[in-house]
């Protein structure tokens, strides 16, 4: 590992540049457990690649005990990974993380439990993953994406997108707001239930209209419902 020291210098400089809370290089070097975990990982990954699997696993467990961050030694990590706060971060064996990625505390780059082989996500360069977000399965999060805190991402995310929610859905792409025109696009069981209830209500309105021979006069729509009706093509 000839470059380890220069990589450490680069990691520290990166944090000093990007974290407003960082006061000095010495503080970053001594106190940022996210960096300590990455440095341990570089060593463990080297051991893993040299088929010293058990030693690599034991040292990664020791790193987990010391930092609260679990990175499997098989994971491929790019340069300048910044794990901010870090507690509870889990990175699986076949995960690939690009350069200049930021992960906050509680992030999981995990498997769904249904796949074999490459079963953890690929995170491309310059992605920010918010606190507690779960990115699961052999999916790819494209360059320059932002994943909202608490999201659960189960599908590929195209470059330059912002994803939020459970399950995660795109709200910004290439800097523009993405309007969901059909609640089913969110692929959320609750949305489907709401969509089918809305369809039923529509049918009933039409039926009542037919029976009464005039337009049904109901309560005025609530403000939030009005906003949905204006924003989306999907008609409730
Ligand atoms: C996803 C994120 C990057 C979006 O930031 P942004 O581009 O400034 O977007 P906005 O704050 O304008 O939010 C846009 C919409 O998404 C919603 N939203 C934002 N973050 C969300 C989240 N994590 N989960 C669900 N919805 C979210 C907002 O309520 C808003 O909805 P609306 O337009 O219907 O009112 C940001 O909210 C986020 O989660 N960052 C992670 C920060 C983090 O984890 N910090 C840890 C520090 S310790």
* Closest by CA position to 83, among listed 10, 33, 14: 33
Dihedral sign (CA 65, 92, 145, 164): negative
pLDDT of residue 201: 85
The verdict on residue 236 lying in a domain is no
Give the C-alpha separation, 163 to 172, whole Å: 7
Residues 191 and 91 in one domain: no
Range of the domain at 167: 4-177
Q: Is the beta carbon of 132 within 6 A of some atom in ligand 1?
A: no
Query: How would you class 160 by CB atoms within 10 Å of its CB: exposed for 0-12, middle for 13-18, buried for 19 or more?
Result: middle
Q: Is the beta carbon of 104 within 6 A of some atom in ligand 1?
A: yes
Residues 121 and 207 in one domain: no
- Residue 155: cis peptide before it, omega within 30 degrees of 0: no
Residues 123 and 221 in one domain: no
Residues 145 and 195 in one domain: no
Residue that finishes a domain, picked among 177, 198, 213: 177
Residues 215 and 162 in one domain: no
pLDDT of residue 83: 97
Residues 152 and 217 in one domain: no
Give the C-alpha separation, 215 to 209, whole Å: 6
| Contact between 127 and 144 (Cβ < 8 Å) | yes
Residues 74 and 165 in one domain: yes
Pocket probe mutation, ligand 1, options 82, 103, 149, max atoms within 8 Å of Cβ: 149
Residue that finishes a domain, picked among 161, 177, 193: 177
pLDDT of residue 209: 84
The verdict on residue 152 lying in a domain is yes
Ligand 1 centre from 172 Cα, in Å?
10
Residues 52 and 98 in one domain: yes
Residues 70 and 90 in one domain: yes
The verdict on residue 156 lying in a domain is yes
* Closest by CA position to 102, among listed 118, 119, 124, 120: 124
Residues 138 and 25 in one domain: yes
pLDDT of residue 206: 84
The verdict on residue 159 lying in a domain is yes
Q: Is the beta carbon of 96 within 6 A of some atom in ligand 1?
A: no
Does the pTM of the predicted model rise above 0.85? no
Per-block mean pLDDT, blocks of 10 residues, the chain (236 long) = 82 94 95 97 97 97 97 97 96 97 97 91 98 98 98 96 93 85 65 75 85 68 57 40
Query: How would you class 162 by CB atoms within 10 Å of its CB: exposed for 0-12, middle for 13-18, buried for 19 or more?
Result: buried
The verdict on residue 83 lying in a domain is yes
Q: With left for phi above 0 and alpha for psi between -120 and 50, is residue 132 left, alpha or beta?
A: left
Degrees (nearest 5) of the Cα angle 7, 132, 28?
30
Give the C-alpha separation, 16 to 152, whole Å: 30
pLDDT of residue 230: 52
Residues 70 and 132 in one domain: yes
Residues 114 and 157 in one domain: yes
The verdict on residue 204 lying in a domain is yes
pLDDT of residue 122: 98
Work out how many domains the chain is built from and give that number. 2
CATH assignment of the domain containing 95:
2.160.10.10
């Amino acid at each position: 590992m000839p470059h380890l020291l220069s990589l450490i210098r680069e990691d520290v400089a990166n944090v000093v540049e990007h974290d407003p809370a960082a006061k000095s290089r010495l503080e970053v070097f001594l106190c940022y457990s996210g960096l300590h975990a990455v440095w341990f990982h570089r060593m463990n990954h080297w051991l893993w690649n040299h088929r010293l699997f058990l030693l690599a696993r034991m040292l990664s467990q020791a790193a987990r005990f010391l930092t609260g961050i679990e990175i499997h030694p098989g994971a491929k990590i790019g340069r300048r990974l910044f794990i901010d706060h870090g507690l509870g971060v889990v990175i699986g064996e076949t995960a690939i993380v690009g350069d200049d990625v930021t992960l906050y505390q509680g992030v999981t780059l995990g498997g769904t439990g249904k796949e074999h082989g490459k079963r953890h996500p690929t995170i491309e360069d310059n992605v920010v993953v918010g606190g507690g977000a779960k990115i699961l399965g052999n999916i790819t999060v494209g360059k320059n994406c932002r994943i909202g805190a608490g999201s659960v991402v189960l599908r590929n995310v195209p470059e330059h997108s912002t994803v939020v929610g459970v399950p995660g859905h795109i709200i910004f792409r290439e800097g523009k707001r993405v309007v969901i025109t059909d609640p089913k696009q969110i692929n959320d069981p609750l949305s489907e239930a709401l969509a089918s209830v809305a369809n039923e209500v529509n049918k009933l309105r039409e039926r009542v209209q037919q029976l009464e021979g005039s337009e049904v006069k109901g309560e005025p729509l609530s403000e939030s419902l009005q906003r949905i009706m204006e924003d989306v093509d999907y008609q409730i």
